[in-house]
Chain A
Amino acid sequence: MRHMRAIGAASAVLVGALALSGCSSSSPEADESEGPVTITFAASILGEPTRGPLLQEMIDDFNASQDGITVEPASVPFSSFGTTIATQLGGGGGPDLIAFDHPNFFAAVDAGHVEPIDDIVDEDALLPGNDNLRIDGVRYGTALDIGNYALIYNPDLVTTVPTTFDELLAEAKAQTTDGVFGYAMRHTQAEEAGVWYDLSGFVYGFGGNWSDEDGTPTINSDENVEGVEAYKEMYDAGVIPQGTDAATYRKMFAEGKIAMMVDNGGIPTVIQGTNPDAKIAAAAAPLPSGETGQVMAVLGVNANGEHIAQTKEFFAWLLAPEQQARIQGFLGGSTAATKVERTAEELEQRPYVEVFDEAGENARSFVPDGLGVQTPQIRTIVVTAVLEALQNGGDIREALDRAQADVEGLL
């Protein structure tokens, strides 16, 4: 009986230890006064083969330039970046400095996970694309990368650059022959976010918008219907490689098998990473309104972080003119947060960059005004409705009417 009591007591201790070990909190952070502080910087761009190493070099230079802060990069794939970061933030953790995907930034701000940065930002130096990162009069983020959309084309294939949608469609049809497709765009549910960008580009190009200024959804406006019908017309014309994802058709463009696409200024760099000799030129997106889309990676400071001051110091370093010029240098056709003059060498090597810079004057974010937090759900509703109409030959107006009702029900 005594032995049984001993076994029972030992088991209870063991079980208790196991239980408590599962509940133990993370080890306390080192006292800041005891040495360099380590902060983490998460950005999907760090995983890109072309641009990642260049951003890593900047991080290494910052670390070497001072002793108080060590920045550790955290590369998370773009496809899972939003989910990973959201889960970490929700758990009270997460990297110290985060390059958010644009829609996820607003949700994080709304949840109180992003630190205001008015104290480190010179508003006059920022490009207009940063305007919507100021929420209720408080600045929460600046762009790491602003990608304006324009027409990217192969000058060896396309000799007459289209300036209207009808010309674009005609040229795409003319180029579709012998294994070459005239146009490429995202159109599969598996790339829902990309479809949203490409679809929105058509909508903006026909003067539409997903919401008005006070955040009222305008999913089924006449202009939106016109824009989506143009997208459908391109889809039905037999000029795009059906079922292919963006990685595949960008590879095809590098191989001279795609004549044209409307995409952001960072894509030429990606294409030339595949084939340095790829022929690339750019022109304004040939849609009636002249408006185009703008994709953005947004830098924000994690309000849950334990080293906010040091994180802001690194952030401020990134915003300095010298660093902005370096960032601009490897973004290619995309722009940094502040105005950086293109060098003569860059303009000679990549003459198309000016087209993307000019597109920024009429570029609009893919986040509907006033609906930043709900953007992922609105995106799913609209993209699903449009793809259903595309695949089943449905009516676009009816599809957008249903989407409007669903979005109104959501709100």
Chain B
Amino acid sequence: MTSVTTAPPAQRSAAAPPPGARRHRPARIHGSRFLPYLLIGPAAVYLILFQGLPLLQEVFLSTTKTSLLNPGRNTFVGADNFVKIFTDPRFMSTLWITAVYVVVCVAGIVLVGLGVALLMDRDFPGRAAARSIVIIPWAAPAVAVALIQVWMLNGQYGVINRILEPFGLVPPGGVWLDNQQLALPVILAITIWQLFPFTAVVILAALQSVPEELHEAALLDGAGRWTRFRAVTWPVISPTVGLMALLVTIWSIRRFELIWLMTQGGPVGATNTIVIDLYRRGFVNNQLGESAAVGIVGLVISLTITIVYFVVSNRQQKEGRS
């Protein structure tokens, strides 16, 4: 998080003007109390227009019965949409699947990213090429990844079954995405594969800021690899890792294209996360009100996680200073 700091107040000139002289105050940009507001004004207007107003509209929609085909025609129903979704056992299942998806994604993406970053931080032949290659999954468009994976996992023509068949690792019928037990793990594996490079790159950048002399000092003191990581590396990179965990959490809650293109939330709801449910209600069933209510639930979950993160983070910072 960057912080905006204002320029210090302008210092009085050491030479005061002579008595009776007309005071001439040259215009100064630096030190004006309006400067911060002027600078963030355009961004704030953008956020209000394209984030704030749509959010207010979503809150309103969530209290109405509204069709996608007639979004201007609303029937106020109060909390009925929320009652409907929270009394639907399938929505409870959706929340559970979302929780599983998010937790495993965060753990997988951060841990794999951290591991790869630590590897990339070492000096070895071809390191530059390796750092470039590891980015490829993240650089590939998610839609292309999803469609290619569907084909690779095809029960009849897919290459994955061809590779795994000699090892006896092919599921019954060669079916992956239509298998209730396997669909979610497959989606998770593909998500982690696609997103770990970003965390790896960011954590690698944080690793570059670890003072080398601390490592050398620890080495001289006879500290092992794990002790050096725990005592020297981790304190420096932990804020970055924490931030990446937060970002991956938000991204995972919002992930749509990969799941929709591969399973549409199936089989039998096995990969039905909150965003898939939102999309289906709004754009397949044409029920914008219900869809908005699901969106509000997702927003509350994301906000709660974000607030908890910053409260804990601030507390840790204060403890670090005291």
Partners in one complex: yes
Q: Which residues of A contact B (CB under 8 A)?
A: 1-4, 7-8, 11, 14-15, 18-19, 22, 82-83, 86-87, 89-91, 107-108, 110-113, 187-190, 192, 241-244, 248, 252, 376-377, 380, 384, 387-388, 391-392
How many residues in B have their beta carbons less than 8 Å from beta carbons of A? Answer: 44
Contact of B284 among A18, A83, A108, A189 (CB under 8 A): A83
Asked if B240 is at the interface of the complex by the 8 Å CB criterion, the answer is no
Residues A387 and B264 in contact, CB atoms below 8 Å apart: no
Residues B45 and A377 in contact, CB atoms below 8 Å apart: no
Contact of A244 among B27, B67, B155, B179 (CB under 8 A): B155
Residues B173 and A188 in contact, CB atoms below 8 Å apart: no
Complex Cα distance, B38 from A125, in Å, reads: 69
Contact of A90 among B25, B45, B68 (CB under 8 A): B68
Binds A, one of B98-106, B195-203, B265-273: B265-273
Q: Which residues of B contact A (CB under 8 A)?
A: 25, 27, 29, 32, 34, 38, 41-42, 45-46, 49-50, 67-71, 154-157, 172-180, 262-269, 280, 283-287
A14-B42, A391-B268 known; A244-B156 Cβ under 8 A: yes
Closest to B266 in A: A189
List of B residues within 8 angstroms of A244 by Cβ: 154-156
Residues A380 and B285 in contact, CB atoms below 8 Å apart: yes
Residues A189 and B49 in contact, CB atoms below 8 Å apart: no
- 5 pairs of residues in contact across A and B, judged by CB atoms under 8 Å: A241-B155, A248-B155, A376-B285, A376-B286, A392-B268
Give A42 Cβ to nearest chain B Cβ, in Å.
15
Closest to B50 in A: A22
A1-B25, A11-B41, A391-B268 known; A243-B177 Cβ under 8 A: yes
Contact of A391 among B67, B180, B264, B283 (CB under 8 A): B180
Complex Cα distance, B67 from A112, in Å, reads: 12
A87-B68, A192-B264, A380-B280 known; A241-B180 Cβ under 8 A: no
List of B residues within 8 angstroms of A248 by Cβ: 154-157
Residues A391 and B267 in contact, CB atoms below 8 Å apart: yes
Residues B45 and A15 in contact, CB atoms below 8 Å apart: yes
Complex Cα distance, B168 from A81, in Å, reads: 40
Complex Cα distance, B68 from A110, in Å, reads: 12
Residues B41 and A86 in contact, CB atoms below 8 Å apart: no
Residues A22 and B179 in contact, CB atoms below 8 Å apart: no
Residues A86 and B155 in contact, CB atoms below 8 Å apart: no
A11-B41, A189-B264, A391-B267 known; A4-B34 Cβ under 8 A: yes
Residues B49 and A243 in contact, CB atoms below 8 Å apart: no
Residues B38 and A190 in contact, CB atoms below 8 Å apart: no
Residues A190 and B154 in contact, CB atoms below 8 Å apart: no
A15-B42, A248-B156 known; A243-B70 Cβ under 8 A: no
Residues B42 and A18 in contact, CB atoms below 8 Å apart: yes
List of B residues within 8 angstroms of A391 by Cβ: 180, 267-268
List of B residues within 8 angstroms of A19 by Cβ: 45, 49
Residues B268 and A376 in contact, CB atoms below 8 Å apart: no
Residues A89 and B262 in contact, CB atoms below 8 Å apart: no
Closest to A111 in B: B69
Closest to B39 in A: A11
Complex Cα distance, B69 from A91, in Å, reads: 8
List of B residues within 8 angstroms of A392 by Cβ: 180, 268
Closest to B287 in A: A377
A1-B27, A113-B69, A242-B173 known; A189-B263 Cβ under 8 A: yes
Residues B69 and A90 in contact, CB atoms below 8 Å apart: yes
List of A residues within 8 angstroms of B32 by Cβ: 4
Extra contacts, 10 of them, besides A111-B70, A377-B285 (Cβ < 8 A), are A14-B42, A15-B42, A90-B71, A189-B263, A190-B264, A190-B266, A242-B173, A244-B154, A377-B287, A380-B285
A87-B68, A90-B67 known; A188-B269 Cβ under 8 A: no
Complex Cα distance, B42 from A22, in Å, reads: 13
Contact of B178 among A14, A83, A107, A188 (CB under 8 A): A188
Please give me the 10 A-B residue pairs with the lowest Cβ-Cβ distance, nearest first: A189-B266, A243-B175, A111-B69, A242-B173, A3-B27, A243-B178, A243-B155, A83-B283, A388-B268, A188-B178
Contact of A384 among B71, B177, B263, B269 (CB under 8 A): B269
Give B160 Cβ to nearest chain A Cβ, in Å.
12
Residues A89 and B69 in contact, CB atoms below 8 Å apart: yes
List of A residues within 8 angstroms of B285 by Cβ: 376-377, 380
Closest to B90 in A: A384
List of A residues within 8 angstroms of B176 by Cβ: 243
Give B273 Cβ to nearest chain A Cβ, in Å.
14
Contact of B286 among A91, A107, A192 (CB under 8 A): A107
List of B residues within 8 angstroms of A18 by Cβ: 42, 45-46
A90-B71, A111-B70, A113-B69 known; A190-B262 Cβ under 8 A: yes
Closest to A112 in B: B70
Residues A376 and B284 in contact, CB atoms below 8 Å apart: yes
List of A residues within 8 angstroms of B49 by Cβ: 19, 22
Closest to A108 in B: B69
Residues B42 and A189 in contact, CB atoms below 8 Å apart: no
Residues A11 and B266 in contact, CB atoms below 8 Å apart: no
List of B residues within 8 angstroms of A108 by Cβ: 69
Give B303 Cβ to nearest chain A Cβ, in Å.
26
Give A18 Cβ to nearest chain B Cβ, in Å.
7
Give B310 Cβ to nearest chain A Cβ, in Å.
29
Closest to A7 in B: B38
Complex Cα distance, B50 from A130, in Å, reads: 44
List of B residues within 8 angstroms of A86 by Cβ: 68-69, 283, 286
Complex Cα distance, B156 from A242, in Å, reads: 9
Closest to B66 in A: A90
List of A residues within 8 angstroms of B173 by Cβ: 241-243
Complex Cα distance, B41 from A7, in Å, reads: 12
Complex Cα distance, B291 from A67, in Å, reads: 46
Closest to B284 in A: A376
Residues A242 and B69 in contact, CB atoms below 8 Å apart: no
Give A133 Cβ to nearest chain B Cβ, in Å.
17
Give B73 Cβ to nearest chain A Cβ, in Å.
8
A4-B27, A19-B49 known; A87-B283 Cβ under 8 A: yes
Residues A11 and B267 in contact, CB atoms below 8 Å apart: no
- Counting chain B CB atoms within 10 Å of each CB, which of A89, A189, A391 scores highest? A189
Complex Cα distance, B265 from A11, in Å, reads: 47
Complex Cα distance, B157 from A91, in Å, reads: 41
